Amino acid sequence: MFPKVTGPAIRLANSGLRVQRATLVILVLGASAPSLAAQVKDELSMSTTRSTPENPRSGNVSNSVEAMFDWGEDWSIFAGLLATVEGATPAPPGSAFGDRGGLVGNLSAGVEYHPDDSWMFGMMANFSPKSTQRSGMQLNIESATGATSSANALLRATSSSSELQLTTGFDSAGQSAVEWSLSTDVTLAHFETDQRIVALQESNGNVASTTSIEKYCQTHTCSKALLSVIGPQPAATLDSGKIGLGGTLTFLRDTHLTLSGDYYAYRQDPTQVGYFSVGSAGRMQIAGGTGVPIAPLRYLVRPEVAQRFGDFSIRLWAQAGRYVAETGQTTRGIGIKLQYKFTKAFKMWAMGSGQRDVDSQGGVSRSATFALGAGYRF
């Protein structure tokens, strides 16, 4: 079962609506551009997740505005803005920390070149400036006498990211009963995060120290994410490369079967970046917007089917993958997207998806994402 949408999620939705009103200004500006404007999209989404020790998050609300401009017959220019409001993690009972999430921005720009009806070459850059999120969590500590008790902790994460993606695609572009297409992409990403436990409070109200956590971890199994945020370590950097490959078969123009996969490699040790889901929220998504990865991914496979019935279309997908060893175990997800074209220029869609992740300690994290969007073609 996926988590229910509760009071904090409703407050997140109100924050997301304020973000949406602000980003609508960009939508209007894009629509008022000269004859270059080709298409504008706006999507509001809400994600809710069940917080676990390895994934101390409660979800978010985000608004995405995208615009595609034609530049002559062969070129297209893309620009986008994604604003994400991270929700406050529910404070454990007795906690004195008024923890909050944070606002994360992500800017993107790209270009596509279509030399003919079959080939496509693209380049896209994404940049998420530095921002800070705070999450409440509960930990076990050990006193000087050896007694074990629980403590409320406040985690602060200051993160930023950037990436460059190169894409190539080929479409048979014919009129036969069965057509096909292939696409491949190479993505280089840079991620920085500085995470610290900045406050600790025992259940009796006394202030605890990180030394208590270190002592507890000497005799108990603690995750590398926890160990990396209790010591005076420098900010972590993670440079990665991703290779993606996908293929689609189209039957009678209305039925599409797609299989795609991604493989990730890392320059640094992925186990040294702390709580990855906290630092990457609003910056990184598992394919298709299904949710935030709880750890650095190793690979992901995604089959999907899409069927069009006149102006209405439905798309179903599933995905499965693994995280880097010692950062997480597996990820699974399913999703559905419903779309209707009211006119040749205007369309709307709704999307829902669920995700199940298993962390390095065997804990299960479940999350759900819901989205509503609209697009207008000039």
Give the chain as a 3 state SS string: CCCCCCHHHHHHHHHHHHHHHHHHHHHHHHHCCCCCEEEEEEEEEEEEECCECCECCCEEEEEEEEEEEEECCCEEEEEEEEEEEECCCCCCCCCCCCCCCEEEEEEEEEEEECCCCCEEEEEEEEEEEEEEEEEEEEEEEECCCCCEEEEEEEEEEEEEEEEEEEEEEEECCCCCCEEEEEEEEEEEEEEEEEEEEEEEEECCCCECCHHHHHHHHHHCCCCHHHHHHHCCCCCEEEEEEEEEEEEEEEECCCEEEEEEEEEEEECCCHHHCCCHHHHHCCCCCEHHHCECCCCCEEEEEEEEEEEEECCEEEEEEEEEEEECCCCEEEEEEEEEEEEEECCCCEEEEEEEEEEEEEECCCCEEEEEEEEEEEEEEC
Domain boundaries, the chain: 7-377
pLDDT the model gives residue 144: 67
In tens digits, the chain (378 residues) has pLDDT values of 434 434 444 344 444 444 444 444 444 444 444 455 589 999 999 998 887 878 888 888 999 999 999 988 899 999 999 998 887 766 555 556 655 667 899 999 999 999 999 999 999 999 999 998 888 787 878 776 777 777 888 888 899 999 999 999 999 988 899 999 999 999 999 999 998 888 887 767 777 778 888 888 888 888 888 888 887 667 889 999 999 999 999 999 899 999 999 999 999 999 888 888 888 888 877 765 567 888 999 999 999 999 999 999 999 999 999 999 989 999 999 999 999 999 999 999 999 999 999 998 888 999 999 999 999 998
Please give the class, per CATH, of domain 7-377.
mainly beta
Q: What pTM does this model have? A: 0.83
pLDDT the model gives residue 122: 97
